[in-house]
A and B are shown apart, each in its own frame.
Chain A
Amino acid sequence: MNVRAQVSMVFHLDKCIGCHTCSLACKNLWTSRPGTEYMWWNNVETKPGTGYPTLYEDQEQYDGGWKLERGELKLRLNSRAGELLNLAFNPRLPSLDDYYEPWTYKYNDLIDAPQGDGQPVAAPVSLITGKEIDIEAGPNWDDDLSGSPVYAANDPNLKGLSEEERQMLFATERLVYFYLPRICNHCANPSCVAACPAGAIYKRGEDGIVLVSQEKCMGWRMCISGCPYKKVYFNWETGKSEKCILCYPRLETQQAPACMHSCVGRIRYLGLLLYDADRIEQTAKRPDHELVEAQRAMILDPFDPEVVARAHENGIDDGQIEAARKSPVFQYVKRWRLALPLHPEFRTLPMLFYVPPLLPVTGSMGDGVYDNSADFFSSLESARLPLRYMANLFTAGDEEQVAAVYRKLIAVRIFKRAQTVGDIPAERVAQTLEQARTTPEEIEEIYQLTSLAGFDERFVIPPFSREAAIELVQITQQRQEGGGMGFLHGPQRGL
């Protein structure tokens, strides 16, 4: 057992209101520089939909992530030698048009326009060429299913759905969608790291944050193709790759990442997980349907004395273990088994987990009357989105594993409804709980963390002790004296 600590996340999709506040908080902080305008380290996409960049989940097209070949874990992208041969041209690189061409408007024209009969307009101009452009796409062009015949109908996760199910999905009366906010998953088996020929991308040992060394990056662009979630971006101005840094400068000073801090729906949770690094490879090699369970097994119990002893051996201190015990992520992922990784079949072992959305109650439109009295708590069978769709997203297609999550989520609703409104017979409650294999105590805990948790319960930031870590490699006095007044130079593109 080789215990490692990982700062990981849970996003509770039932609570996301699709407001994009997270995206803007991130953009304001990190990607408002030239070359990064088109990057959304945090983006929120509407599902069903093709996402950002378009069709990123379709690995037939992009070859991201890992594949199993004769029991060996291989990059889908290419062999090592094959990658080197493709340095001059990467055939699997999305083009800017798969994201969108960033633009602004000629606002000055509104003020400077000469007197005339018509209203002055602010024409859109490309942020890259400075020339006027026709805007053809944006980072959330398919928000709330706008243009669904183009976007939603092409969602790769619809595979395996019958024609009837698809129709059900898109029939206007039953229009249904949900939001999927995405940041880098800071994977335990990151394929971006593995694909980088320069060795510029690395995972931080102490906290598992995946970063791109801006000095070592040579702009070979393989990480962008290698990441199946398309969460590494190419800065066209500096010629370097950039990605979500999980706001590590904020984390190191005990602040929640900007996207999480600003989240209006309070859907985001952050905490430490301890996991067994010796099991990364064998976990990633499991057959598709066993991946979720194997990843859960790889995550260790911080209450287990054996785990604690081994963690100490690896330099994980009591503060971190304490944080791992309080971690909301540990509760959702390991104890309650409610949170699932996005597309586990990419085999990168993503360390960001999602509680799938239960979606609003079903209703029907008859004679202009909206009637939702039939089954207020949307039993699984009448779920608005086919289970198969959710399974394609979160369990590599295994419907039973998603159903198990849903049974528990429904049990929470029914239990609390019975408790607060009292209109559900006790036998039905007991039966639901039994089906979901849960207990009233567990439900209360889930309810507490889902609906009532305050800031400090949602974000249990472990002590980073960077100063203690620095002490090991440098004398602190010297470090302190090495700082001081001076000049910081902005990143300058090479000649």
Chain B
Amino acid sequence: MSTFLFIVFPYVAIILAVGVGLYRYWTNRFSYSSVSSQLLENTKLFWGSVPWHYGITLILLAHVFAWLFPGLTGSILGFGPRLFAFEVAGLALALFAAVGIVILIARRLPTLSRARAVTSPMDWILLFVLLVQVLTGAAVALFDRWGSHWFLSAAAPWLWSLVSLRPDAATVAPLPPLIQFHFLLGFAVILLFPFTRLVHVVMLPIHYLWRPYQVVVWYRDPRRRLAPVPASQAAPAKSHFSSAELKE
């Protein structure tokens, strides 16, 4: 059972996320958008979107950092006041994000609201899953102490084993069900990624920081005008019939 949950399921989620995500990008890039509803409703959005995005981004960064550098994280945090402070900060951020997503859900609820009019079924699923994920995260932080400590010895090795293609669920199998659920739902979010608006996460436009302000696109090269294709290099003239024959 734990093999299926902690090895097969994560791989399926990741493969689908990457595969379907790329497929969607290549075949229907138009569908990549944050599909913002700010134009339609923007007062509640402020109280929802800002806490949510800032809260969840910082929490995710902490997760990723602890996973990538477990040793370093361990030595920074130790087992004293720093660990405690880190945990308190994490919990506060989780609650901050939770408040945000509750407001994001609430603003789409009323039947008359304009934001409701642009809410797809996948939006509801995603919002609900994210809410549960944040709440279980907060619960884990509260009831299974100290997450940032045991994460390093239980979750990080498991995640590394997945990455290095030598999957081993031994360190996570004995964990309490609440923690396991949080892990699984985390991969469920990854699974949802290519099928929802979550795709906007990977489109964060970092290159805006250094690209020139103005974008000018040419059909021809303005400075060095390309010579027209010489007749000798052009495709051989084919009659309409011969090309039809070729295709048969």
Residues of A within 8 A of B (CB): 2, 4, 75, 80-81, 83-84, 87-91, 93-96, 101, 126, 128-131, 189-190, 193-194, 196-199, 201-206, 214-221, 234, 236-240, 280, 313-315, 466, 468-473, 475-478, 481, 491-495
Cα(A478)–Cα(B235), bound, Å: 8
- Choose among A128, A131, A199, A221 the residue that contacts B38 (Cβ–Cβ < 8 A): A221
Give 15 CB contacts A-B under 8 Å: A2-B222, A87-B34, A89-B38, A95-B38, A95-B39, A197-B205, A199-B208, A214-B30, A234-B36, A236-B37, A236-B40, A237-B118, A477-B238, A494-B32, A495-B120
Q: Residue on A with the closest CB to B34?
A: A219
Cα(A101)–Cα(B114), bound, Å: 10
Within the complex, the shortest CB–CB distance from A370 to chain B, in Å, comes to 47
- Choose among A88, A131, A468, A494 the residue that contacts B35 (Cβ–Cβ < 8 A): A494
Within the complex, the shortest CB–CB distance from B125 to chain A, in Å, comes to 10
Q: Which chain A residues lie closer than 8 Å to B117 at the CB level?
A: 128-130
Q: Which chain A residues lie closer than 8 Å to B218 at the CB level?
A: 204-206
Please state if A131 and B112 are interface contacts (CB–CB under 8 Å). yes
- Choose among A203, A466, A493 the residue that contacts B215 (Cβ–Cβ < 8 A): A203
The majority secondary structure among interface residues of chain A is loop
Given A84-B208, A314-B222 in contact, is the A492-B30 Cβ separation under 8 Å?
yes
Stretch from B84-92, B141-149, B193-201 that touches the partner: B193-201
Stretch from B10-18, B42-50, B73-81, B179-187 that touches the partner: B42-50
The majority secondary structure among interface residues of chain B is loop
Please state if B33 and A240 are interface contacts (CB–CB under 8 Å). yes
Known: A95-B40, A221-B36, A471-B229. 10 other contacts (CB 8 A): A4-B222, A193-B214, A194-B213, A236-B37, A236-B40, A239-B35, A314-B223, A314-B225, A477-B237, A495-B195
Please state if A218 and B219 are interface contacts (CB–CB under 8 Å). no
Given A199-B208, A494-B197 in contact, is the A206-B31 Cβ separation under 8 Å?
no
Q: Which chain B residues lie closer than 8 Å to A131 at the CB level?
A: 112
- Choose among A189, A216, A472, A493 the residue that contacts B228 (Cβ–Cβ < 8 A): A472
* CB under 8 Å from chain A, chain B span 17-74: 28-42, 45-46, 49-50, 52-54
Please state if A469 and B219 are interface contacts (CB–CB under 8 Å). yes
Within the complex, the shortest CB–CB distance from A469 to chain B, in Å, comes to 4
Q: Which chain A residues lie closer than 8 Å to B107 at the CB level?
A: none
Cα(A116)–Cα(B196), bound, Å: 50
Within the complex, the shortest CB–CB distance from B137 to chain A, in Å, comes to 20
Q: Which chain A residues lie closer than 8 Å to B36 at the CB level?
A: 219-221, 234, 239
Is residue B170 within 8 Å, beta carbon to beta carbon, of the partner chain? no
Q: Which chain B residues lie closer than 8 Å to A88 at the CB level?
A: 49-50, 52-54
Given A129-B112, A203-B215, A206-B219 in contact, is the A215-B29 Cβ separation under 8 Å?
yes
Within the complex, the shortest CB–CB distance from B54 to chain A, in Å, comes to 7
Q: Which chain B residues lie closer than 8 Å to A87 at the CB level?
A: 34, 53, 204
Q: Residue on A with the closest CB to B215?
A: A202
- Choose among B114, B203, B243 the residue that contacts A96 (Cβ–Cβ < 8 A): B114
Please state if B209 and A472 are interface contacts (CB–CB under 8 Å). no
The 10 A-B residue pairs with the shortest CB-CB distance in the complex, in nearest-first order: A239-B35, A494-B31, A205-B218, A88-B53, A194-B213, A239-B33, A469-B219, A197-B205, A197-B208, A202-B215
Q: Which chain B residues lie closer than 8 Å to A476 at the CB level?
A: 234
Given A88-B50, A203-B214 in contact, is the A495-B208 Cβ separation under 8 Å?
no
Within the complex, the shortest CB–CB distance from B25 to chain A, in Å, comes to 10
Given A88-B54, A189-B214, A239-B34 in contact, is the A81-B209 Cβ separation under 8 Å?
yes
Is residue B220 within 8 Å, beta carbon to beta carbon, of the partner chain? yes
Please state if B215 and A89 are interface contacts (CB–CB under 8 Å). no
Please state if B205 and A199 are interface contacts (CB–CB under 8 Å). yes
